[in-house]
């Protein structure tokens, strides 16, 4: 009996840094024909033994397939790599970290060059790529139709989450989540600094810290409910007035431990401002309105 194997969709990959290489390897391992190009040719050549077709130029790689995935350092390098390349009829998927404005401008630029465009924001580090259950995913925004057409292929290396037709939304979600992450790491840095000169093992504090942050973080759902409803006093457990009253304890403790309060103070300043404006019965949601200019 004749057997038919269905060929998986072909992909072109431009950019083989740590992330691009991880993505490329996963597509190759899953049996997708893959054409690759990288500015430093050795990184592309390293994938040839795994079945990648190595293009001599970005233009040649783009000409090879309809689906073109780009994962370069920044938006400037995307502009440099694609300058003068014929993009007519291509489905350009840009996973390079950008600002929302850069993503929107890149979408317009791609359309003006005859390409369809999807922007992506990668919520994963290279070791999470191709590892089911590792928790990584990529935000996508731009044409829903284009996303749905390639969703299966794009989902091979890492899960996909579509966040809207606005090409800037993937970048915006990406930066929003990473900004929250830096706030969390800033808090953790302050906590470790407080115990730094004491006979306390950082490895003993770490699980306590991790568990506490996990216990507290569901509060973001209440924040979202309050922002949607407009009533920042709804469901409040710990009032802003009470929390502001506690801030001298945090600042004095930092001083006593010889630790700078420069990570905490800006947030405490905003809490005090909101309290002064009459937000004492709220919790911390009112601070958000002080940030939005």
Positions that interact with ligand FVH (CB under 6 A): 15-20, 38-40, 43, 71-74, 77, 80-81, 96-97, 122, 125-126
CA dist., res. 86 & res. 215, Å (int)? 51
Residue carrying structure tokens 């928790």: 135
Helix H or strand E encompassing 68: strand 67-70
Give 77 or 222: the residue with its C-beta nearer to ligand FVH: 77
Give 161 or 261: the residue with its C-beta nearer to ligand FVH: 161
Provide, rounded to whole angstroms, the least separation between the CB of residue 88 and ligand FVH: 22
Give 12 or 96: the residue with its C-beta nearer to ligand FVH: 96
Provide, rounded to whole angstroms, the least separation between the CB of residue 128 and ligand FVH: 9
Write the Ramachandran bin of 112: left for phi over 0, alpha for psi from -120 to 50, otherwise beta: alpha
Give 97 or 141: the residue with its C-beta nearer to ligand FVH: 97
CA dist., res. 279 & res. 232, Å (int)? 8
Measured at CB, which residue is nearest to ligand FVH? 17
Give 15 or 100: the residue with its C-beta nearer to ligand FVH: 15
Residue 150 buriedness (CB in 10 A; 0-12 / 13-18 / 19+): buried
Provide, rounded to whole angstroms, the least separation between the CB of residue 71 and ligand FVH: 5
Beta-strand pair 91-94/34-37: unpaired
Q: Which two tokens stand for residue 270?
A: 């905003």
Provide, rounded to whole angstroms, the least separation between the CB of residue 77 and ligand FVH: 3
Give 96 or 160: the residue with its C-beta nearer to ligand FVH: 96
Provide, rounded to whole angstroms, the least separation between the CB of residue 21 and ligand FVH: 7
Q: Is the dihedral of CA 264, 265, 268, 270 positive or negative?
A: negative
Each as own residue / partner, the long-range contacts of residues 258-261 (CB below 8 Å, 24 or more positions apart, any chain) are 258/197, 259/190, 259/193, 259/194, 259/196, 260/193
Provide, rounded to whole angstroms, the least separation between the CB of residue 119 and ligand FVH: 12
């Amino acid at each position: 009996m004749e057997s038919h194997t269905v060929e998986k969709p072909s992909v072109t990959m431009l950019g083989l840094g740590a992330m691009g290489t991880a993505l490329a390897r996963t597509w190759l391992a899953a049996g997708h024909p893959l054409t690759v190009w990288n500015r430093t040719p050795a990184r592309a050549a390293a994938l040839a033994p795994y079945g990648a077709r190595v293009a001599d130029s970005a233009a040649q790689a783009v000409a090879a397939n309809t689906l073109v995935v780009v994962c370069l350092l920044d938006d400037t390098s995307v502009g440099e790599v694609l300058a003068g390349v014929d993009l007519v009829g291509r489905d350009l998927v840009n996973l390079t970290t950008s600002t929302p404005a850069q993503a929107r401008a890149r979408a317009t630029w791609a359309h003006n060059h005859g390409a369809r465009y999807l922007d992506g924001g990668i919520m994963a580090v290279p070791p999470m790529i191709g590892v089911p259950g590792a928790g990584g995913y990529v935000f996508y925004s731009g044409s829903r139709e284009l996303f749905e057409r390639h969703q299966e292929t794009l989902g091979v290396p890492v899960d996909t989450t579509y966040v809207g037709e606005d090409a800037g939304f993937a970048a915006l979600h990406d930066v929003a989540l990473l900004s929250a992450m830096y706030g969390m790491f800033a808090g953790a840095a302050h906590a470790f600094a407080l115990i730094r000169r004491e006979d306390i093992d950082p490895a003993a504090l770490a699980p306590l810290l991790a568990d506490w942050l996990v216990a507290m973080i569901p509060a973001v759902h209440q924040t979202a409910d309050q922002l949607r409803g407009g009533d920042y006093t709804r469901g409040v457990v710990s009032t802003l007035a009470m929390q502001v009253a506690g801030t001298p304890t945090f600042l004095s403790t930092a001083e006593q431990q010889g630790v700078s309060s420069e990570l905490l103070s800006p947030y405490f300043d905003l809490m005090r401002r909101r309290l002064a404006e009459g937000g004492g019965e709220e919790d911390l949601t009112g601070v958000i309105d002080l940030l939005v200019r």
